[in-house]
Every structure is written in C-alpha cells, then in structure tokens.
A and B are shown apart, each in its own frame.
Chain A
Amino acid sequence: MRSVRVFFIGGLLAYRALFSWLSPWIFIPTLLVLPVFQILLFAFVGRHAGLESDEFYVIGNAVQSSSTPCLAAMTMAIAGERYERTLGVVLVTPARRVPMFLGRALPVVANAWACSLFSLLVGGTLLGVGIHAGAWLPVSLVVLVGCLSCSALALSLGALALRLRDTSTLTNITYGVLLIVSGANVPLAALPAWLAAIAEWLPLTHAIAAARLLAAGASFDRAAGLVGRELLLAVGYTTVGLLALRYQEMQSRRHATLEVA
C-alpha cells in the first residue's frame, strides 16, 4: 500500500515540484505552440522538397514533439532533486526506488500524450489534414505508447543527469537525434543504412510509423507489430533507467558525491 502511495501521490508531488515548465508562461509557448510551428515548418519544407504529403509531416512531427515534454520533464523530475538539494533527503528514505521513480514518469507520460494530441489536432486543422474519426482512438493509443517509450529513455537520461551538469544539453541533443532519425521528417528509407539501423532501437520510430498506418485507415492488427516493438523498447529503456539510477545512487554514496553539481 505504501508503494502505491509513493507511486501515485509521491510521483505527482515530485512532478509538480520539479517540472518548472508547468507555469503557463512556459507551458503554453514551449509545449503547445512550439510543436505546432514545428509541424508547419517541416510541412512547408516538405512541400518545397517535394518529398511527402502534409499528412506525413503532421503525424510525424506531432508524435515526435512528445519528446520535448518527455525528455525535459523526466530529467527535471529526477535531476531536479540535486539542484533543489533534496536528493539526499529522498535517498535516505526507506521508500522503494521502483515506485518512487516510475511514479514520476506517469504524469510525464500523461502530459506528453495530451501535448502531442493537441499539436496533432491543431497542426492538422491548420494544414487541412483530417484524420478519420474512427482512427483517432487507435492513433491516440499509439501516441501513448510512444510517450511511454520516450519517457523510459528519459528515465535513463535522468540517471545520467545525476552526473552531468548541463542536463538541457543532453535533452536537446536527444531531441535532435530523434528529430533526424525517427522518421518524423525523413522517411527511414531515405536515411543512410546505419542511421536507419539506429532508428530501430530508438523510441518513437515505430510509434510514428504505426500512427501513419492507422491514420491512413489500416486496421490495428497491421500496426500491432510496430506497437509491440515500441512497447518492448519502453520495457527495455525502463529497465536500463532503473538500473542506472541504482548504480548512480550507489556510486554517489560511495564517493560522497550525492549533491555535487
């Protein structure tokens, strides 16, 4: 029961305390308006390049834009403890680490999911890209799975951020890698083979492909393989993240570097 409380209540409290972008003055421009402009930018670049349809860029960038709230919020919700000088207090508690850290991921996923769907709706409306009413539910589910795997990657980055000083460099570069490699703007077939191979192991690649399939009217069965791979990545990155957090905790205790920024 205590772990359930730590997971839900502790997770939400930590998220609200440490994710500073929840202020509307940051949230609206950064997490709602910026992704819409990202969609418009790449849709027009795509028109000029004559590469793909507007729908391709609307869906690709709407799903990829979930990486901003996932990466920023998750790293802040973990590394923020160090900057607030509360990491020591958190780590001396007997609370189990798995619910403590995974509980923080839950609001991260929910927020990223809502932001991504918002940009999909607004970006699509502005460019006249309509998604069939029946496709919204499966597309939403796929976006949710994408947010799960991206937050899982961010959990691993959060562990790294306990060591690094510039967490924003880490999240910005990861966002950039996902932008280039995930197939949001450049079809995987047009990427160099080694980049396309990396894409298979990164979050959002399969979610973007699945969302495009479903939006085009395919049945969920056809996208199930892609969704399954995205879920597997989520499980894999979560495991790596939790192990990395455990390792960082042990190292920081051993070397007395708990809150050394």
Chain B
Amino acid sequence: MSRLKRLGRMPRLVLVVWWLHLRMLAVSAFGGLMQIVWPLIFATSALLMFRVTADEQVLIYATLGAAAMGIWSAMATTASNMLQAQRWAGTLELIVVAPTPLAVILLPIALAMATVGMASMGATLLWAGLVFGITVPVASPVEFVLSLVVTVIAMALLGFLLSVAVVRYRTAWALGNVLEFPGWLLCGFLVPLTLLPGWVTPISYLLAPTWGMAAIRESAAGGDPWRALLFCAGLGLAYAAIGGLISEAVLNSARRHATVSLT
C-alpha cells in the first residue's frame, strides 16, 4: 500500500479506535461511575468551601475549574495505565504487530478517555447548578466550545505522552493517581497560579491544561482566548511529537528484550 493511501486511512482508523474504546469504557460500570462521581466528590468539597466566603466571580472560577478537573483525572490515572491495561487484556501484542504505528492506536484511546472526562465536566456543571445554584455564564459560546475541544485534545495528547513515558513502571496506575492532585493545583483548576510559589509557574506553563483552562475562562468571560488556545494547541502537538518518539523507543526496546507481554 502506498504511503499516501496509508495516510489517507488514518482519520478513519482514529475515528474507529476512538469509538470502539469509548464503547468499551461505557460498558464498565465501575469506570463509568467513578469517572463521573470521583471528580464530583472533589468539586463538592471545593464548592462547599468556596460558597462560605467567596463572591460570585470566585464561585464561577471554582465551578469551571472543578468541572474541568474530571478531564485531568481521566487522563492522569486512566491514561497512565493505558499500556498496562492492554497488557493485562492480552491485546498489547496485537497492537504492536499491527502495521499501524503504535502512536496512532494509542492516541484515539487517550482521546476516548478524555471524552469521558468531558461527560464528567457536564455532570459537574449540572451538579453545581442543581445543588449549589451556580450558573456559569458563557459570553462567547463559539470560543468556549472551541477552547473546550482544543483543551480536551491537548489533554488527550498529554495522556498519550504519559502512557508511553511511564510504561516501564509496572503499577503505572499508582503513579497516575499521584499526579491527580498536583495536576489540579499546577494547572490552576481551583487556585490561581499567583497563589502558588513562584518556582511552580514555569512548570504550570509547560502543561497544556493550564493554557486550556485559561482559554475556557477567558471565553466564558467574553475575553480573548486565542493566545492561550495557541499555547495549548502548540504544547499538545509537542506532547504528540515527544510521545511518538518515546513510543518508538520503548517499542524497539521491548521487541529487542522480548518484554512486550510481561506484566
């Protein structure tokens, strides 16, 4: 098959793998429930804290951040364990021997996980409205949706990078768990970066969700989200490139040492 023809089939492959994995995630009662309930628990805690003293603007800030936390949770824990999960399911070898590059298969899986995170975001916004009476006004709906889509894709790319970066760690899910709280802090989901120690800011700026969250907030407030969106998209592409290189390296290593299927 010519290179051009193979490239032409990529979008269909991405779509099929994304849809297939989304359906697999949907049949897991545990996964589905926890993806929705887990961020809700922390959102509830945070909103209960904020509603005591904070004004309306801070509550809206916290609600948007709490809603987006679910996407990070879906990435940090689930994506970190992505390759291990394939190993345990006995499908890793099949993915590895397929003529399609490993990265092209892993990316839509991460995207499916981020899509579930979006569902959790919707649930949190609904919860904030019904239980706490907080409605998030969206001044620029088109920019808001665009910011959301770019953020979700960038987070999926980060998830992809994470999945290949921690593949040597056997209990990658535990490592992913640990990343959950620092991610919420570093990306400014609930707390402005100005409240964090100064040395943290450069780390935050290297994380696409920081820019994505800024773009979401700007577009909701009717500001200019484009600069933040550009940084978010750029960092996402950088994650994809680095992840692609790492995935090739770990794959070659696993083939050389015959460790693909070792759990």
| Residues of A near any B CB (own CB < 8 A) | 23, 25-26, 29-30, 33-34, 37-38, 40-42, 44-51, 166, 168-169, 172-173, 176, 179-180, 185-187, 190-191
Contact = CB atoms under 8 A, between A and B. Distances in A.
A48 B58 contact: yes
18 contacts: A25-B170, A25-B171, A34-B181, A37-B178, A37-B185, A40-B181, A41-B181, A41-B184, A41-B185, A44-B185, A44-B190, A44-B191, A48-B190, A51-B53, A172-B38, A173-B37, A180-B44, A190-B52
B169 interface: yes
A91 B177 CA distance: 35
A259 B182 CA distance: 40
Interface in B172-221: 174-175, 177-178, 180-182, 184-185, 190-192, 195-196
Contacts of A44: 185, 190-191, 195-196
A25 B191 contact: no
Contact of A29 (B38, B54, B178, B196): B178
Interface string B11-42: 00000000000000000011001100110011
B139 interface: no
A27 B184 CA distance: 22
A6 to B, nearest CB: 31
B14 to A, nearest CB: 31
A30 B178 contact: yes
A176 B41 contact: yes
Given A40-B185, A45-B49, A26 B44 contact: no
Contact of A33 (B45, B171, B178): B178
A187 B190 CA distance: 19
A196 to B, nearest CB: 11
Interface string B42-74: 101110111011100010001000000000000
A191 B48 contact: yes
Given A26-B171, A38-B181, A179-B45, A48 B38 contact: no
A172 B29 CA distance: 14
Given A37-B182, A44-B190, 9 more contacts: A41-B181, A45-B191, A47-B191, A49-B54, A50-B54, A168-B30, A169-B30, A190-B49, A190-B52
A187 B33 CA distance: 28
Interface in B122-153: none
Interface in B204-242: none
Given A23-B171, A30-B177, A45 B190 contact: yes
Contacts of B49: 42, 45-46, 49, 51, 185-186, 190
A168 B174 CA distance: 14
A190 B192 CA distance: 24
B181 A37 contact: yes
Contacts of A172: 34, 37-38
B174 A30 contact: yes
A166 B31 CA distance: 10
A176 B48 CA distance: 14
B42 to A, nearest CB: 8
Nearest to A168: B30
Given A44-B185, A47-B191, A29 B177 contact: yes
Nearest to B172: A25
A198 to B, nearest CB: 14
A30 B48 CA distance: 26
Contacts of B178: 29-30, 33-34, 37
Contacts of A179: 41-42, 45
A47 B33 CA distance: 31
Given A47-B195, A166-B30, A172-B38, A190 B48 contact: yes
